[in-house]
A and B are shown apart, each in its own frame.
Chain A
Amino acid sequence: MIRYVLNKFIFMLISLFALVTATFVLMNAVPGSPLREEKATTAQIQKNMEAYYGLDKPLVQQYGVYLEKLAHFDLGISMKQRFRSVNQTIAQSFGYSLRLGIVSMITSVLAGCALGIIAAMRHRKLLDNLAMILAVAGLAVPSMVMAPLLQYLFAVKIRAFPVTGLHGPLDYVLPAIALSSVSIAFIARLIRSTMIEVLSADFIKTAKAKGLPGHLIVWRHALRNSMLPVVTYLGYLTANVITGSVIIEQIFAIPGMGKFFVQCVIDRDYPLIMGTTIFYAILLLASRFLADIAYLFVDPRIRISAGRMGG
């Protein structure tokens, strides 16, 4: 068990290191100095600035400094936003994204599980077909379509919810739905297919032969075994939420990290892009690691082979 955890942890570190290095290499592969585009700078100012950002040193040394700073959780300094540190910017915007993200992750898991269980229980009946058509539709409508659609219908036409912003609890409804619709559909399908498989397993027959009623068989025997792939999926759910938030925050004008990330991509603010990317990567890898750990608690056998799922 300790070996399993350690294994996963080392793996996370290797992946993170690979990404950090790749980020660094890519950012330095950009032709010319990123500062050169700035207008109205004299050669001296240019030199000073390069020194400030450490750009005058050889690449290997820059890489060393970069890694050392990272180890102290220092993500560097923005080039465009008046020399504010990347950490500050993230600290300011991450709160919004985190709250929205948690709300939509909970929504995804609850709604997805409910839909999937209902479908599996009514396998091949009307409710199953309905739920699955809904789920396929949910998968097919990407967040960049879902968000404006919801906004148009419920905020512009019906005016039931505010169009933009993230202040009161009502403000969360539309962005959270838009952010979780794909994941709800995915989890519903995942739960349904595993549950149908589990329900035909031998041990379910044993449970039936004991004379247990249907609901007990589902709750006590089928559900826990059907949850295993969902637990694995939780790590990837984080990825979906982050990807989605980039779009959703843009559309709903939420001053979160996603909106901010898009801005720095458009600005080509390299230190900021690097910093945010690494922050996102840490978040993702950590959540996958946590999902692996959670797996330990759901499955007493620790089937490592099942730990890998197509995302």
Chain B
Amino acid sequence: MPSELNLNADSDASPDRFRKIGRDPKRAERIARKSLSAWQDIRYRLFANKLALFGMYLMVAVVLFAIFAPLFSHYNYFSNDLDRTNQAPGFRHWFGTDDLGRDMYVRTWKGAQISLFVGVVAALIDLAIGIVYGGIMGYFGGKTDEIMNRIAEVLYAIPYLLVVILLLVVMPPSLTTIIVAMSITGWINMAWIVRGQIMQLKNEEYALASRALGAGPFRILFRHLIPNAMGPILVTLTLTVPGAMFTEAFLSFLGLGVQSPIASWGTMINDGVKAMTVYPWRLLFPALLLSLTMFAFNVFGDGLRDAFDPKLKK
């Protein structure tokens, strides 16, 4: 039994209050909560995530230092100073010097330039190929999709680093070679993400509507579908960068990457390992910066993903 409540037919219930007003949907709308646009919503969630925010600041800081630190230093990254080799960090050389007396501070930020450049360019190439390839797979579907997907799967099954190493053995070592080598199989993940998104989106009303209006497939794909798939694409892009940075450092560590005197975190770490027991700072700075930068990108990418996909955060 429902608990009985008193009918409050008290004095203030004047007859006027029982005037009929009927159905009025506007009354319901008036009390509705203020709604946020999708992007505002995403930004709110991203900024509410302290770790992601920290990652973003860290990213910005590394980028700024990489650009400006070498410009505003008395030293450059390639001049030897054989009188001042293996100096400990101090006022003159903030991060110390290496075995050729080169300033570690400038070299470390020069290494950041290389690392960021490789990471971002490789990610952008992946993005370009991935969007076109994945977009075509997803939009046309059927046989086109099946054949293209098979090709991608075969490529994906080939161990990535082996391909990269093979190419580098054969081609002259340079930044371009590294980036080209990484792009050969690097785009596949992005292509799959785009494909999945497009397959979902292409049957949405606005895509069907614009097809009914006679828009061509590529117009629909790039004007209507890709922009709406931007969330997962951005997340994948962000998370590709640290992977590419690692690969560059790995290759340079093995001596397959950029060559001296150009500074790369990988080569600097390799040199640092050899001198570690005596001059630990030569390992510390490039190793710390590489880890911090990868951390920043990872954390920010995670935050971005959670912001785009709130159901994961439940």
The interface of chain A, by Cβ under 8 A from chain B, is 11-12, 14-15, 18-19, 22-23, 26-27, 29-30, 133, 136-137, 139-142, 144-145, 148-149, 151-152, 156, 193, 196-197, 200, 239, 242-243, 246-247, 250-251, 262, 265-266, 268, 270, 273, 277, 280-281, 284-285, 288, 308, 310-311
**A144 CA / B268 CA spacing, docked (Å):** 11
> Could you tell me if A273 and B166 are in contact, using CB atoms closer than 8 angstroms?
yes
Interface size on B, residues (CB 8 A): 46
**A285 CA / B158 CA spacing, docked (Å):** 8
> Inside 8 A of B166's CB, which chain A residues have their CB?
22-23, 26, 273, 277
> Inside 8 A of A200's CB, which chain B residues have their CB?
314
> Inside 8 A of A243's CB, which chain B residues have their CB?
161, 250
> Inside 8 A of A133's CB, which chain B residues have their CB?
51
Question: Least Cβ distance of B132 to chain A in Å?
Answer: 19
Residue of A nearest to B190 (CB): A310
State whether the Cβ of B31 lies closer than 8 Å to any Cβ in chain A.
no
State whether the Cβ of B294 lies closer than 8 Å to any Cβ in chain A.
yes
> Inside 8 A of A284's CB, which chain B residues have their CB?
159
> Could you tell me if B254 and A142 are in contact, using CB atoms closer than 8 angstroms?
no
**A12 CA / B131 CA spacing, docked (Å):** 27
> Could you tell me if A140 and B291 are in contact, using CB atoms closer than 8 angstroms?
yes
Question: Least Cβ distance of B296 to chain A in Å?
Answer: 8
The residue from B189, B283, B295 contacting A148, defined by CB atoms under 8 A apart: B283
> Could you tell me if A280 and B287 are in contact, using CB atoms closer than 8 angstroms?
no
Q: Are A141 and B291 CB-contacts (below 8 A) given A148-B283, A268-B169, A277-B165?
A: yes
> Could you tell me if A152 and B161 are in contact, using CB atoms closer than 8 angstroms?
no
Instruction: Give the interface segment out of B5-13, B85-93, B101-109, B269-277.
Output: B269-277
Question: Least Cβ distance of A205 to chain B in Å?
Answer: 14
**A284 CA / B160 CA spacing, docked (Å):** 11
**A246 CA / B253 CA spacing, docked (Å):** 10
> Could you tell me if B158 and A148 are in contact, using CB atoms closer than 8 angstroms?
no
State whether the Cβ of B212 lies closer than 8 Å to any Cβ in chain A.
no
The interface of chain B, by Cβ under 8 A from chain A, is 51, 153-155, 157-163, 165-167, 169-170, 189, 192, 242, 246, 249-250, 253-256, 266, 269-270, 272-273, 276-277, 280, 283, 287, 290-292, 294-295, 298-299, 302, 312, 314
Given contact pairs A22-B163, A141-B295, A144-B249, a sample of 18 additional A-B residue pairs in the complex whose CB atoms are under 8 Å apart: A12-B157, A19-B158, A140-B295, A144-B270, A145-B290, A148-B276, A148-B287, A152-B276, A152-B280, A196-B312, A200-B314, A239-B159, A243-B161, A246-B254, A265-B256, A277-B165, A285-B157, A311-B189
Residue of B nearest to A269 (CB): B169
> Could you tell me if B170 and A27 are in contact, using CB atoms closer than 8 angstroms?
yes
Q: Could you jot down 15 A-B contacts, CB within 8 Å? A: A19-B158, A19-B159, A23-B166, A136-B51, A140-B242, A141-B295, A144-B287, A148-B269, A156-B277, A239-B159, A243-B250, A265-B165, A273-B169, A277-B165, A310-B189
> Could you tell me if B158 and A281 are in contact, using CB atoms closer than 8 angstroms?
yes
Residue of A nearest to B314 (CB): A200
> Inside 8 A of A242's CB, which chain B residues have their CB?
159, 161
> Inside 8 A of A308's CB, which chain B residues have their CB?
153, 192
> Inside 8 A of A151's CB, which chain B residues have their CB?
276
> Inside 8 A of B159's CB, which chain A residues have their CB?
19, 239, 242, 280-281, 284
> Inside 8 A of B295's CB, which chain A residues have their CB?
136-137, 139-141
Question: Least Cβ distance of B192 to chain A in Å?
Answer: 8
The residue from A11, A149, A270 contacting B157, defined by CB atoms under 8 A apart: A11
4 closest A-B pairs (Cβ-Cβ)?
A140-B295, A15-B157, A140-B294, A145-B287
Residue of B nearest to A27 (CB): B170
> Inside 8 A of B51's CB, which chain A residues have their CB?
133, 136
